[in-house]
Structure formats: structure tokens, C-alpha cells
Chain A
Amino acid sequence: MIMGSNMAECHPVAFRWPLKAKTDHGAVLMHVDPRFTRTSAMCDIHSPIRAGSDIAFLGGIINHVINSNRWNTDPFFKEFVVNYTNAATLINPDFKDTEDLKGVFSGLSEDGKSYSNATWSYQRHPAPTPPAAKVGPFTDLLLQRVPGRPKTDPTLKNPLTVFQILKRHYSRYTPEMVERVCGCPREMFLKVANTLLNNSGRDRTSNITYAVGWTQHTVGVQIIRTAGVLQSLLGNIGRPGGGVLALRGHATIQGSTDIATLYHSLPGYLNMPDARKVHDTLKDYILTEAVPISTSYWGNFPKFAVSYFKAQFGAAATEENDYGYNYHPKITGDHSHLPMMVDMTAGRIKGFFVMGQNPAVGGQNARFQRKALSKLDWMVVRDFFETETAAFWRNSPEIQSGELKVSDIKTEVFFLPAATVPEMEGTFTNTQRLIQQHEKAADPPDDARSDSWFTYHLGKHLQQLYGDSKMERDWAIKNLLWNFDPDPQEVANWHIKDEPSAYKILKEINGYTWADKKPLPTYANLKEDGSTACGAWIYTGVIPEEGKNNAARRQGDNWISPTWGFAWPSNRRIMYNRASADPAGKPWSEKKKLIYWDPKADSGIPDAAGNPIRGKWIAPSGEGIDFMPTKAPGSRGKDNGIGFDWLGGNDPFIMRPDGKAWLFAPFGLVDGPLPTHYEPYESPVENPIYKQQSNPVLKTWKVAGNPYHKVADPNYPIIVSTYRLTEHHLSGTMSRWLPWLAELMPELFCEISPELAAERGIKNAEYVTIQTARGEIQARALVTRRMRPFVINEKVIHEIGLPWHWGWQGRARGDVVNNLSALVADPNVSIHEGKVFTCNIRAGKRGGAA
């Protein structure tokens, strides 16, 4: 099932594989999407739903599945769910569901803007007696704080079990309700639900694939969680052909998340130190972050954190100075892209680096973002072409309309030419976490340099300038470990001799022993005493030994291809793959075999007498085993241990502190433990399911230049979705300047149903104007039955579609679609709601009479 993704258009080569499954093996492909796209055209079933109604649809499937005859009679489902999910776990009796509180959960603050998750907690047995063992300074502290095991009822009958709470929560998501909310005929909905159900089980798995069609919502994280809950209930997690696959959109967007250039995260998914939390010292930081998750593999958090600081500050990072922790910055709020632009407008930000990004086109409420740029003292753009962002000061729509004057814009702007991929060496991480190396084929032309070159030399210059400083605030830059100068042979073939060594950077990301600088083969080698340095623990193993780069391996096979590139963590392709075997360690079926427990195999570990301990997990395909290789099925974990010691042999979800897949999230989300249908922030309808209209804790920025529409606003009755096409890339920097791509999709267009076109007197290929309170754009009309009106709550609702690739520069041009959108975001991750907001449309060009 493809939902929230237009896979054939946005990931055509990935779509090769499901299409092959269809043509060669009879797999059923389903597309659930508001539009009939090139993906829908290739699927067996296209189920149209109104944009923003995904949780209602998926919640409906959950309700249908757990009440179905098949799910309740085939023992596979209960066996998977009771053993591998938290269905049996008992929840705090004070917890109140949306069923009890008219659409919100217990813990909502008085102002209704935030939740406390205190009542979402597990019921637990008393805490164990801590062990006496001295393991490491931080690990010992975690061992003192291990909570009692969660209480469970494996019969799932107790009304406080997760399963019963879930069942009540989704009971009102009936096929009739799905039809009312989504505008999808109930027969179509049931066809989708039954296809998923009937193709899941011991012998079959079903996959759900999504992309930004799910993320760009004020409930984005919760939509994805709904899919996770559904797949866990269907036994489709950790197994070949199952899972919830995220199709990410950029060559190393996964790498940019893993090795985060994101305000909230350090590399390897360690939270950024935050002054609002108890993060005052390194010990505070580790305890605050690691205690709640110490009984998962995150019990190793101290090793990851200390090794990160060691990589940051090298020799200067010592036990005495908390490895430099006190010199590391702390965040104090949401510093993500949208508030960044709000703060830029307010004058808080003076200097701005924009590297390979084009917010003047791609940014939400792009007018607001372009005007923010004019408040800067300086801006450095690094790109291939003169992007709209680079040119904002000279020919933006605001300059052309006279709203801004060139001479009034005091921003000092630098354009630095960037190298293209074949002009530099480095690695990308693809959407399945596969790290692949690209080699340098040629020097970049003229002054073009790699991105790493720019940052590295900026750092070198600054380190020099701060070299004599005695100030505390300059300690971090002064002591930064910054030694990526290339060895002569690395640049022997090139004219540019001062490119930093990509190998040395990757080696530091991988991690090495501080004393003798030897690369670490696995993150199990990391230490919490400063004897290892490691930039991003999850990548350990990519350089397992000096001179060996697993990202550059190019030996494929017909399946897992374990020797093509390197998939983090530890070359594992399918995460949580312990779940591919049953509780006894046998594959659920021969057909779906991936890993299994061999009780006779030599574990490679000797016992006290020197005899080999028997029993080991085996992966015939060469797949990495996402579990402790010698932990026997059914074995019990240590109640007073952390990490793998605490986890039992049937706890596949090793990054969860109970080893189970979370149907109910006791913490980790700021907007509730169970996904719930809320309307988009701007919606033409009132929430048909709950009194609560939209996500109560979503993020808004009520500032000048960012007005919002009311619910069912008569001025803006039409739903609009923004999206991408095969022929262009994002804001167009990498496609609109290329004649081969420009001519394929030359101009901005708006997809409109014939019904709406007739209502508004719109003719195909002529111009239309689309308006919101933020802006007005014109586009060519593409009138097509691939778009359709929906009947929602007995009311006809129209929806239009706008691909957003165009701007006023380049060889293919059009208005900036994001002039229409608003700064409004998901509360968990601050992703904007670009997939659904409201607008109005009329025939004719922009600026004409309304």
C-alpha cells in the first residue's frame, strides 16, 4: 500500500521493485491518495481520500482488523502482538483517552497548548535492587536507576491493557465514519483494509510506503505512527516484505538526519543539549536523556555521548572538564527552519549560510521568507546557479512589485560556486540507510569547491583568529579537533590541493581509538572514558579498519546484497529483524525466512571452562542481525541490568526500553500516545469525529505576514495540496536550469477537476489565479478527471493540486507556489503543513479583478 507517497513519480527507480513484484509475482499494489497520479495508474487499486484524512482512514483499518474474524482466529496475529508489541502492557489507571475527554488526552495543560505525559505511563513492578558492579562512571549511575518491569496481561483482557485502550480508541473509526471523513466509498475502504489483512500473516507480509504526503501535516508524526501501529498488529514489522518504508527525497537527506545538521539533534540521534532541561552538566545530560531509555540499546548512551565530545574537542576533552561539555552550545527553544525565519524577520539573526537550499522558493510562506532575507546583514549562498535565494535582493516579486527597493536592502550577499557530485569525493546515505561512496571524477571548474572545502577552510581561518583567545566562550572553537588536511597522495591527481580528506572525515564519523587512532569495527567498541572518539555512533563499521571503506563496496547479489555499500547500523537492512522469527526463534514460515536461532551453533564465546557456549542467531542471506547474536529466544533479561542485559530473548525492538513495538507511546510524543484524527489547521470542514477540531498542541506563529484562515472559511473553501513531479527536483535548482528537464515541465500548472473548472469558468491551459491570505499566484490550468471533488460530511469539497518547483529564475519559470502556504507545523518535529491548506481560485491572471 502506497499512501502519502507518489512513488512512481517521485521515486521512479524505487518503484521498479513493487512493479516487478506485481508483474512477476502477482503482488497487489494499492494507492491511497487524493489525486489519481502516475502511481495510481500503475496500481491495482486507487482509493481516493481527502487530503489530511489519513489517520481516519488508517484508524479505520485498525478498527476493521482487530475486529475481523481472520485476525481473531489465525493464532499468528495474537502470537506476534502479545510477544512483540506492548499490547499486553498495563497503563496508568489515571490515563484518559480521547473517548473520555472529547478528543483530547489526559495531561493537557490549562492553556491547552501542551501535554504532560505523566498519566500515559506504564504500570510497573517495584524497582530492582541495583547491582554493586563498577562498570563505568556513567553506566553505574544508570544502573542505580533501572525502573521495575512493566506489568502486563498477556490475555489482553484487562481494560487497562494497551490493547483494550486501543480497541476503545478506534471503535468509532467505522467504515461509515471513514466515508464521512475521507470521502472514500466504504466499499473501496473495505477492499483496501481486507487486501492488507488477507496479505498479512505467517506466510505473507504487506508493506506500507509513505513519503512527505504523510509528514507535511500538523499530525504528520502521528500519521506515520498509525501505520506503525497497524503494521505491528498485522505482524508486518521486522520481516521481509513488511515494514513502513519512508521514501525520502534527497540524495543524503537520511545522512543529514543521521549526522544531523538539525538544531535539535547531535549526530547519531543524541538530543542536543537544551538549557530548558536538566542538562547543566554532562552527568545531568546523560541522566536526563538516558535514564528513561537505559533498558534498551540506548543503555550505551554514555559511550555514544562521551565519544561524540571526544571527537569534537580531541585532546582538550578530558574527564576533568566533562569532555568539553560546558563549552558546547545549548538550545533554548525551537530553532528550526520556520521559527528561524520568524526570528530573522525580527532582526535576531544577522548572518545566514544557505548552502544547497532555496528558501525563496521552497520555504513555506515564501514571501515572508524572502522578506526575512532582506533583514540580514550578510548572507552566503553556495550553489550551482543563481538561485532565487541568491537573487532575492535584485529581482524578487517583492522588488518587481515595488514593495521592496534594491537600495534599501542592506544585506551583503556572497555567491560561492559549488562543486557537483562527480567533482568531489564523499558519501550519501539513501532512504534505506545505505551509505554509498561517490568518487571524484574531475576537479570542479574555476572557483567552485566542495561544500566540505568551504566549511573546513572557514573553520581553519576562524581557529587561527581565535588561536590566542583566553576567553571561555572561545574555548570550543580554539580546541576544536579540526585536522582533515589531505595526505599528498589523496590530491595528487587534482589541481585543487586543499580539499579536506573525505576519508579522514568519514573515519572520524566512524570512530577510532584515541590513543592509536585505529578505526573501530563496531559501536560495541565505544567507551565512556574518553578513550574512543566517534562522530556518529550509528555509522561505526563503515570504516572498520584503516584504509577499508565499506561505503565503497560494490558487490551486489539478488537479494540483501550485504556487500554493496554499508547499511547502518552494523550493515542491517531490515531493522528489528528478530521479529522475523517466532518466539521460539524459528522463522514464521519458510517463505518469509530471514534470521533464525540455531541452538547448536558455536556462539564464538567460551564459557568459564573454555568450552564454546552453544546457540547463535543465523542469517543465511548475510543480513546483519539486529539483535544480540547470542541471546536465546525466550531467555529472560536481568531485572537490574541495562541495555541488552535487561532485554529478553523475545524483545526484538531493541531501541525501545521494553523491547516491544509501541502500539501506545507512553512518552516520546508531545501530542498524545495514540494517533487521533484531527482536521488540518486550515480545513473547510469541522472535525466529524471529535469536538476537538485540530491538533491541540500544533505550532503556529501568529506574526505579521503570516495570517491564517478560519475553519470552514467561506473566502477560502478549496483544499490545496502541494507536491512534486518526476521531471523536476524540489525548488528546481537542480532541474529548472537544465534544458532537458525544463522542456519536460516548462511552467507552473494547477490541477483542477472538470467539476470545479465548470463551477469557476476555468478552461484548460488558460491561466488561473490561486489566492490565500498569504499571497496570490497564477498558474496554467490543467483540467483533468484525475482530480475529483469529495463529499465530506454531506458537503461537496473541491481540492486542487499545485506542484511547487518553479520560481522566477532558470530556464523553466512560474510563480512561487509557496507564496500561498503558511507557517504552521507539527508539534513534534516542526514540519510545516504543506500537504493541505485552504485557498480560493478563479479564472484569469494574477492582479486582475476578483
Chain B
Amino acid sequence: MKISRRKFLKISSTAIGTVVASEAASLGLDAKAMTDKTAQIPMKSGKQVQSVCPYCAVGCAQIVTIDATGKIIDIQGNPDSPVNEGTLCPKGAAAYQLAVNDLRWTKVKYRAPGSDHWEDKPLDWAMKRIVDLVKNTRDANFNEYEEVPDGKGNMVRKRVMNTYAIATLGGATMDNEWNYVQQKLMHALGVVYVENQARI
């Protein structure tokens, strides 16, 4: 970065002004008159959106700030929250870096059976392929009836309407709404290996 002469002069004059002000204050003089000289300091700001911390279950309220282009620029604790009163732990304070992170994968990756590398694939293609796999796996492995123990030492034939060929394991930092649609769809498909981090 090159510094223009004009910019430098502007900075120096501010600097000198504030130095004088603070030193004046230390000598017991009134510094208030000087305050507005430094009050024009720009600060990250923008539209504020209400959020909740993605990490633990304390439920700290957060405020997400987006700039004029709609980009997330800041995530802070919400001082109004009776849960956290604006405070956050180091993970909560790092929530911004979870969303804005150069290692984040934002494209679909695909690994063919036996392949030694990832390939980029379109989202639509992946969805269609997954749908076919789910349907084929389910249809080939669906049980309408099964012999099960009745608790009295006998095996009895019971209607089960399930499949053991598909399993789902979810995290517990995913919305209630996802939990609802996930269990709803899985039950509709007959999937019984429905599990979540919540067991732990």
C-alpha cells in the first residue's frame, strides 16, 4: 500500500490533536472539547440479524451483522438475552469463522466406488443419484413381516414395515425443523436405524 501525502498529513494532524488532548487531560485540563475530533472513526456496521450460537446447548443469543452486499461481517453476543447478556465463550466468539472460512467446502464432491479421488458434481446430479440409491436400496431390502421374539420365549410373525438397509446419523446442532422432517421422511420410508448425537 502506498500512502499519499495528503492522507499522511490528515493522519498526522489527527494524531497530534489527540496526543495534545490526552496529555491535556493528564494535566487536569478538560479534554471533552477535543472528543469530536476522533469520534468519526469508522466501525464495522450493517444490518443486524438475530441468531443463536451453533455450538453448545446453553443457547446464547447472537447478532449477525451483514454489510451492504449481504455478506456476513460480524457475529457477536446479544446483550438483550437473559441467557448470555451479550457474552460468548471462545467457540461462540469464533462463530464468524465457522461461516466465513477458506477451508469450507461449498461444492458437491463425489467419490465413485473404488476411486482414489473426489470429483466435483452438480448438486442436481447428486440429489438425483442419491434419490435413486435410496429407492433401490429400500425396495430391495424392505420387510413387511418378520419373525420377532414376543418376550415369552416364542418367535411370532409381526408386521414391521421397515428396512434395515438404510441408516441415518444426525448431529445435534441441526434445527428442530430438520429433526422433524428427517424423522418424518425416514419413518415414511420405513428406516429404523434413525440416530442422533443426542443419545450421547
Contacts and interface: CB of A to CB of B under 8 A. Distances in A.
A124 interface: no
A561 B179 CA distance: 27
A394 B185 contact: no
A737 B175 contact: no
Contact of B176 (A216, A377, A383, A428): A428
Contacts of B11: none
A477 B190 CA distance: 9
B36 interface: no
A424 B59 contact: no
Contacts of A357: 169-171, 196-197
A420 B54 contact: yes
A458 B168 CA distance: 13
Interface residues of A, number: 165
Contact of A377 (B57, B133, B158): B133
A407 B117 CA distance: 10
A438 B64 CA distance: 10
Given A262-B195, A385-B103, A455-B181, A337 B169 contact: yes
A445 interface: yes
A336 B58 contact: no
Given A13-B87, A458-B131, A476 B187 contact: yes
B167 A256 contact: no
Given A480-B185, A554-B80, A431 B130 contact: no
Contact of B110 (A413, A428, A561, A730): A413
Interface hub of A256, A260, A356, A443 (most chain B Cβ within 10 A): A256
A431 B196 contact: no
Interface stretch (B1-9, B16-24, B25-33, B45-53): B45-53
A208 B179 CA distance: 30
Contacts of A411: 111, 113
Given A455-B181, A739-B97, A831-B200, A421 B54 contact: yes
A348 interface: yes
A768 interface: no
Interface string A305-331: 000000110000000000000111111
Contacts of A482: 184-185
A275 B70 contact: no
Interface residues of B, number: 119
B108 interface: yes
Given A350-B137, A386-B105, A422-B99, A356 B49 contact: no
A349 B54 contact: no
Contact of A384 (B66, B91, B101, B184): B101
B135 interface: yes
Interface hub of B98, B110, B113 (most chain A Cβ within 10 A): B98
A442 B200 contact: no
A564 interface: yes
Interface string B139-160: 0011010101111000000111
B130 A442 contact: no
B167 A351 contact: yes
A142 to B, nearest CB: 22
Interface string B85-122: 10111111111011101011111111111111110001
A327 B107 contact: no
Interface stretch (A242-250, A614-622, A664-672): A242-250
A415 interface: yes
Contacts of A85: none
Interface string A755-796: 000000000000000000000000000000000000000000
A368 to B, nearest CB: 15
Contacts of B60: 13
Interface in A445-491: 445-452, 455-459, 461-462, 465-466, 472-473, 476-477, 480, 482, 484
Given A735-B91, A811-B103, A356 B170 contact: yes
Contacts of A461: 127-128, 131
A508 interface: yes
B188 interface: yes
Given A275-B158, A452-B178, A457-B127, A256 B97 contact: no
Contact of B52 (A251, A380, A472): A251
Contacts of A432: 59
A458 B131 CA distance: 6
A415 B108 contact: yes
Interface string A482-507: 10100000000000000010100110
